[in-house]
Amino acid sequence: METAGSTPRPQPFAGDFRGYKQSRNAGADEELARIGPETSGGEYLRRFWHPVYLTDDLGELPEAIMILGEELVLFRYGDGDKIGLVHKYCPHRRASLEYGKCESNGIRCCYHGWLFAPDGEILETPAENSKAAEMVRERTRLGAYPVIEYRGLIFAYMGPPELQPDFPIYDAFEHEGMTSAPYKAPYKCNWIQVMDAILDPVHTTFLHGQNSHPQFSEGMKALGVLKFYERGENHFLGSATRRIGDNAWVRVNELVLPNFTQAGAAYAADGSEQRYFGRSCFTRWVVPVDDENSIVYAWANFGDRWDPHEYNTREGHEKIEQGEIMDRPLEERKRYPADSEAVEGMGPISTHKGENLMPTDRGISLYRRRMRKQIRDLTDGTEPPQPSRDHGHSVRTYGQDTILTLPPKGGDDQEYLRQITEAVMDLQFEAEALPDSERDPVIFERLRSLEQNGLG
């Protein structure tokens, strides 16, 4: 006698199944993905300043962190107003300085009391008064890196000391009427997977709009007309221009190599109301922790040209970062996936060589190609370019929403939206050389004129 369910029930679809033929994984892009101290990608990243911690998270006790595959300890010294960053293990017997004692002039190892200055100099070996101890103090140092604390973020430079660049000042750092709040967002995957999304305007429409429920504004469900720009040697822009009624909504995401990113607003704009050069919801760096983990350090930005102040909460910062809060039950993540689900779902390191990049992925192709060239140039002895300050002002950025009332003219509206995008961006590029105090007012006036007079 047969029991219920004992008869095989083949699936009705009889197609061209290729699982067996494609069961071997494609390879990762090792050149970009690997970031350790002895890799070409790691050497490249070490030529730049990176945020490594939130100021408010660093208390009176040392904190162990990992950045670029290195085990480090961050600590306060002096009266607690100065910050040091050193390698984790004491060069005497390899005890962890996470358990060290913060003092007025450095950090002291808990095991045998060796005292280290913030630059790694051995200041004291209290139990050792021999000639051997003098020799060790002369020739040995604890690994250490320079740090800068700025607006709630702690930045470090981990490259060759003689090549330390100036700390880059972007025009987005400080604006009248803007309130910024530092935040962090960890991702359980390689940094390139997180970075790619910024030059992928299409994912906003589907992942954050049409897939489950609108995670940002309703207008982002519309698929925009795409255009990509290269500005100088390390600046990339990806625009999506949407038609919302009689309005043309130009939304621009940007990447400055190696890992600085901005976008438009997350919640302030939906394409229905006029907006002139509204600025980014976040000012953000994607920082590799190791090959299989990364962390975003950023400022969330609020004000009339940014996002609404009501989102200036921890939960609000996480929603601005990726569309949903970070820590959610698995069932909810499956029903309403956001950036972390999309990028972590690729695995710890995506098999990039199995991708099939499309024309809409042009921004990703452009930035990866340029980064790969700069990595190879560095291997051949040419240092990578730093963020451009060609005109002696702050580094210019373009992450934005610009919404103009320019109704369809009949005919090909897609082509008209492309022309609007070009006009909006060209007038902003033309204002690059203006002083900081003049640039935005000039852009506002030119956008107002464009809206009033049309494209001609």
What are the pLDDT digits (tens) for 281-337? 999 999 999 999 999 999 999 999 999 999 999 999 999 999 999 999 999 999 999
Residue 222 pLDDT class (50, 70, 90 cuts)? confident
Per the model's pLDDT, the better-predicted residue between 388 and 454 turns out to be 454
In this predicted structure, what is the pLDDT of residue 391? Answer: 66
pLDDT surpasses 80 at 5 = no
3-state secondary structure the chain: CCCCCCCCCCCCCCCCCCCCCCCCCCCCCHHHHCCCCCCHHHHHHCCCEEEEEEHHHCCCCCEEEEECCEEEEEEEECCCCEEEEEECECCCCCCEHHHCEEECCEEECCCCCCEECCCCEEEECCCCCCHHHHHHHHHCECCEECEEEECCEEEEECCCHHHCCCCCCECCCCCCCCEEEEEEEEECCCHHHHHHHHHCHHHHHHHHHHCCCCCCCHHHHCCCEEEEEEECCCEEEEEEEEEECCEEEEEEEEEECCCEEECCCCCCCCCCCCEEEEECCEEEEEEEEECCEEEEEEEEEECCCCECHHHCCHHHHHHHHHCCCCCCCHHHHHHCCCHHHHHHCCCCCCCHHHCCCCHHHHHHHHHHHHHHHHHHHHHCCCCCCCCCCCCCCCECCCCEEEEEECCCCCCCHHHHHHHHHHHHHHHHHCCCCCCHHHHHHHHHHHHHHHHHHCCC
pLDDT tens digit sequence for 125-147? 998 888 888 898 899 999 999 99
pLDDT computed for residue 18 by the predictor: 74
Q: Where are the domains of the chain?
A: 49-163, 179-384+391-453
Q: What is the pLDDT of residues 156-189, one digit of tens each?
A: 999 999 999 999 999 999 999 999 999 999 999 9
pLDDT band at 64 (very low <50, low <70, confident <90, very high): very high
- Mean pLDDT in residue range 390-394: 75
Looking at CATH, the fold of the domain delimited by 49-163 is given as Rieske Iron-sulfur Protein (2.102.10)
Q: Which pLDDT band, with edges at 50, 70 and 90, does 100 fall under? A: very high
Q: What is the pLDDT of residue 3?
A: 57
Reported confidence tier of residue 274, pLDDT bands at 50, 70, 90: very high
Q: In the predicted model, is pLDDT for residue 221 greater than 60?
A: yes
In this prediction, residue 422 has a pLDDT band, given cuts at 50, 70 and 90, of very high
**Percentage of the chain lying above the pLDDT 70 cut:** 97
| pLDDT for position 187 | 98
pLDDT of residue 339: 94
CATH superfamily of 179-384+391-453: Naphthalene 1,2-dioxygenase Alpha Subunit; Chain A, domain 1 (3.90.380.10)
Is it the case that residue 19 has pLDDT exceeding 90? Answer: no
Summarised one tens digit per residue, pLDDT across range 367-386 is 999 999 999 999 999 999 99
